[in-house]
Each structure stands twice: as C-alpha cells, then as structure tokens.
Structure 1
C-alpha cells in the first residue's frame, strides 16, 4: 500500500513532538497530512445536578482552547508546503474510539507519535478506533527513536495468521524499498494447516513475486514472551521497523489485546507497523 493520506491523532497538550514527527514522515513520502486533535472529557463524579454547570463550563473552555490550537497548528503547517487539514473534537471517553475510527476511514495510515505513545488512555482509543474499528494500518512511534516509512532494515513478524498477512499487504511498498527484510518466526510449527512443511517458505515466495528478497529467521522463545524475543532480535539486526499483525477480541464490555500486541503497544523501543 502507498500512503497518500496519513492521519495523526494527538492530544491537546501533545502537539509539538507529534506534529514534527508527522510532518517529517509526510514530507518523506509526499503524503497529505490529516491532523485530528482530541480532548477527552473528564468523567463526572458526584451528583449530576451539582456538577452539570461546572462540567459545561469546562467543556466550553476546552472547545475554545481547541479552536485556538487548531488555528496555531494550521499556521505551523502552512509554512511546510505540505497538503494538510486540521480538525478537533471534544469527546467523552466512551465515544473517542468511534470518533477516531470514523476519521480513520479516509486515511491510508494512522500515526501515533512519540508524545501520544506515552498517553495510555488516548493511545488505547486510537488503537481501538483506527486499527480495530476501521482496519487501518497503525504506525507506533516510540519515544527516542526516529520513525521512517523508508526503512533500510525491516523485521516482519510472521505466524501464518490472517492478521500477519494483512500486515504484509499493508507494508509491501515499504518492504520493496528496504535493503533487508527479515521474516522472523518464533517457535513455528511445521504442519500443513499452519506454517507448511518449511515454515516461512510460503510468505518468502509471495514476497519474492513482489521483488522482495528476504532472510528467514527462525528463533526459539526459550520460555520468553514473543514480544521480548522480537524486540531483542530487532535490536540485534538493526531493524528500523517491525511489521506485525495485531490481535485482540471483545470480552463483554472490555476489549482485550493479545499478549504480544499489548507488550508492543506499551514497551516497544523500535517503531512498529501493525495491521488487523
């Protein structure tokens, strides 16, 4: 997939670092930058009759502040020469993921910048809305590590599941431009219904048809979490990007992420492109 529209979701107090990351990435690939600034309403505590006036006053101030911030961001972006748009929303926590998901329908990639990465509440809402609701690829930019859509070395986490295949499709153009692509498997099982007789061979052939040469890395977990093994290997091979499928499911009213997905969301040191 080529990325022509990149959606960056950020909080009202997180614009500088994330805006810089987003503008650099869009400049790199010539993409339109879509900024969505989110202010999440605090959850009222106490009697509604007592708190309603104060809550409404707070909401009005937030909306005014958001309008000012939108104008400031637009002024900053006007000097970059990029194609862009800036929107904002004041939303209750329960509706944030839906709002982000609706916005993500019109983007090729959803970006979580380094400042938003450190905001667990907003990050979770972006993942739920952009990745799981709208099924858009999501790029996590961890603090302290420059992210790029033109990496030299890519680690592809492969487990022969549809989510991993979705990540492969979304990252094809990225991997075509890379110097090295490591198809990395942790404890693969050699069965016809899973990885085939030779784990990794099928995806290697698929990628070869797209002009992508790969190195197959089969690693034992030795009792360690899959995410920890992937992170360590990424650092060892000097990967600029990890590409992986994202796993999660709804349990009653709570959405539960898979173990490797959750760890990458919380602890990654290398930029991660996820797809579902």
Structure 2
C-alpha cells in the first residue's frame, strides 16, 4: 500500500517559504510516497460596524488580508505541483479556509486522513508553529518537521531518541518507512535527564532492529548543561544523522500547548528534520 503524506501550508499572517516545497517533495520521493498539499487560507469574521467602517475601513482591510492569503496559498500549491512534476512525485492539492484562531485545528482534522504529516518550520513564523503543534497533538498521525534552513538530502542515517516510553515506541513504529530505507540507525539514550525504566534499553531496541534485518547500533549521551532537545540534535549532527525520530511530549489545555522539555527544545531550535509522534 502506497503511503500518502500531507503537507499543511501556512498563508496568514506569515506564509511558509517556497523552500518547504522542495524539501517536502524530496522527502516523499525518498520513501516512495504520494503527496497531498493543502493551503490553509484565512477566513476573517466580519466584525465591522458603521463606526469602524467609517474610521478604519475594516471590510476593505479584511478583503485585502483574505486575498493576500489566497494568493500565497495558490502560489505555494502551484510551486509544489511543478516541483512534484519535475521529481516524478504524485501530488494532489487543496485549499481550505479557517478563522485565524482555528487554522491549526482545521489542519489537524484534515491531516487525520493521511499516513504522515509534513510541516514547514521557520523560526520566526508563528503561524507555522501553531499549525505544527496542532497537528502534532491533534491529528493522531506522526508529524515530520522540515526546517527551512536545512536542505533535505538522503535520509540515510536515522537517529532514534529512545527512553523506553510509550511515545518513543510509537515514534519508532511510525518511522518504519524511513528505518527500512536507512543505511544506518543509531539508538540514542540520554542518561542524565530522567530515571530510565531499565539498563541497556538502547541496546535492546538496536538488537530488535538488527533482528529485523536493519543496520543498528546503540549509544548513550549526557545532556549536561544543554537542553535535552539541543543535546539530541547536536549528537545526531555530530554522527552524521539526517533524521531524528522521537516521541512528542505534551498536551493541549484550552488551546494552550503544554510541551515536554525535549519537545519544546526541538521546536525552539530545529536543526535537522525531526519526526515526532504523540
């Protein structure tokens, strides 16, 4: 069965960079997946009244904002259609609309119909972060964050952040398409961040992967004074890792996302593609 990945694109107030288009197509091509790209256009409720229309011309401003959002979405979808055609990737596109506060919710609900969620990540793009967090905690699907500043090359070396937890086990299962194609898998356990369920848990997972015919090894690191997210990414890059796989910790509370330390550290400073499962 062919996998289908969804790519949710932000358009308002900040749009995703066109670089995300190339990154997404390159990634799905590697795992022989199809791509469904959706632009989330803004639909701003009409809150004008006679006085505000007279002084501020709010209806006109709303129309301009919505038109700008639609234009950005249309341009991104056209770019991804062209990139997919050049790369031989099957792609479908769609536009959805949502009020500003619900753009993430709409993206998360739409993403439930696909196998893998792709989200472009840009440090200063708060819309992209909102959409990414909503998809991570609300879609029920694995979410792969694609940093704007890092080209997606061959994902040959996959690094698994392993602590023996439920979410980490879920992440390993969700990463199967990448693990099966990896030339090397490194299972990394951080030993000074929290109590671990047992000793040598990384070696146990690596052995299980090798039993399945994969090339895997285990390593332990200490975070020290660094955040766990920074420590994991630094180690992954140091050993030539191209993709970091980890569980996503956190929960939603009245629309405010409460993130675990590792997840927050990853989102605060993303340095390579990261597959998060919640």
Quickly name the TM-score band, shorter chain normalised: 0.7 to 0.9
Secondary structure of the equivalent of 1:235? Answer: helix
Q: RMSD over aligned Cα, in angstroms? A: 3.1
Q: 2:161 aligns with which of 151, 157, 165?
A: 157
Matches within 5 A, 1:76-87: 76=82, 79-80=85-86, 81-87=88-94
Cα distance 1:61–1:166, how it changes in 2: closer, same or farther (>3 A)? Answer: same
Structure 2, unmatched stretches of 5+, are none
Count of residues in Structure 1 that have an aligned counterpart in Structure 2: 270
Partner of 1:117: 122
Structure 1, unmatched stretches of 5+, are none
Q: When the two structures are superposed, what TM-score results if normalisation uses the length of structure 1?
A: 0.83
Matches within 5 A, 1:126-275: 126-148=131-153, 151-187=155-191, 194-275=196-277
Secondary structure of the equivalent of 2:268? Answer: helix
- After TM superposition, the runs of 4+ consecutive aligned structure 1 residues lying more than 4 A away are 41-49, 188-191
Residues 180-212 of structure 1, C-alpha deviation per residue, up to 9 Å, x if partnerless?
211111116998xx4324332332233233222
Cα distance 1:48–1:236, how it changes in 2: closer, same or farther (>3 A)? Answer: farther
Counterpart Cα distance in 2 of 1:78 and 1:261 = 31
* Cα shift at 1:264: 0.9
Counterpart Cα distance in 2 of 1:112 and 1:71 = 14
Residues 94-148 of structure 1, C-alpha deviation per residue, up to 9 Å, x if partnerless?
21122111221122111123xx434532222322332211121111122332225
Counterpart Cα distance in 1 of 2:203 and 2:6 = 34
Cα distance 1:262–1:47, how it changes in 2: closer, same or farther (>3 A)? Answer: farther
Secondary structure of the equivalent of 1:200? Answer: helix
Secondary structure of the equivalent of 2:201? Answer: coil
Residues 42-84 of structure 1, C-alpha deviation per residue, up to 9 Å, x if partnerless?
7999979625533553365347636854774476357434322
Cα distance 1:43–1:221, how it changes in 2: closer, same or farther (>3 A)? Answer: farther
Cα distance 1:121–1:220, how it changes in 2: closer, same or farther (>3 A)? Answer: same
Contact 1:190 1:199 in 2 (8 A): no
Secondary structure of the equivalent of 1:185? Answer: strand
Q: 1:54 aligns with which of 23, 37, 60?
A: 60
Q: When the two structures are superposed, what TM-score results if normalisation uses the length of structure 2?
A: 0.82
